[in-house]
Amino acid sequence: MGNMSYCRFENTARDLQDCLEAIENNEMTEMSEYEVTGLESLLETCREIVAYRHEIERAIEKHNEEQERLEQEEREYQEELEREERLAEEERQANLTEEEVETENTAEDIKKIVTEALSGCPSTWSKEYKLFNNLKQL
């Protein structure tokens, strides 16, 4: 059965490595006629593959360049996301600062109202009632 196109070279490289180990270990004795025919075919195919060496090297180089380009694009995309997140955080901080200033101003206004309420009311009034009446004015 043939290899699927998405793993053809990966699987075949492993199989060739296995064949090379058998040759290095001198496991070419007592071969059947099929094995001898297969070994002859393997040798001829390897010669043809070597003839395409430059094309293979160019294909590998092109793949590596494309992979590097994609990785660079991914790095740039991540940097852009981080930049946008920083800008959004800076804007949030700026808005938060405005809100804090507004909160401080409101707190000062409340403090003035409470102070006036406590100083201008008869001492028989409860502090809460004085505060409530003065806060209604806001």
**Residues 55-110: tens digit of each pLDDT:** 999 999 999 999 999 999 999 999 999 999 999 988 876 776 666 667 766 777 77
User: Who contacts 110 (Cβ-Cβ below 8 Å, separation ≥6)?
Assistant: 135, 138
Model confidence band, residue 45 (pLDDT cutoffs 50, 70, 90): very high
Per DSSP, the chain holds a count of helices (H) and strands (E) of 4, 0
Q: Bigger pLDDT: 81 or 117?
A: 81
What local confidence, expressed as pLDDT, does residue 138 receive? Answer: 59
- Residues 107, 87: Cα–Cα separation, whole Å: 30
Can you tell me the mean pLDDT for 26-37? 92
Q: pTM of the prediction?
A: 0.54
136 secondary structure, DSSP code:
T
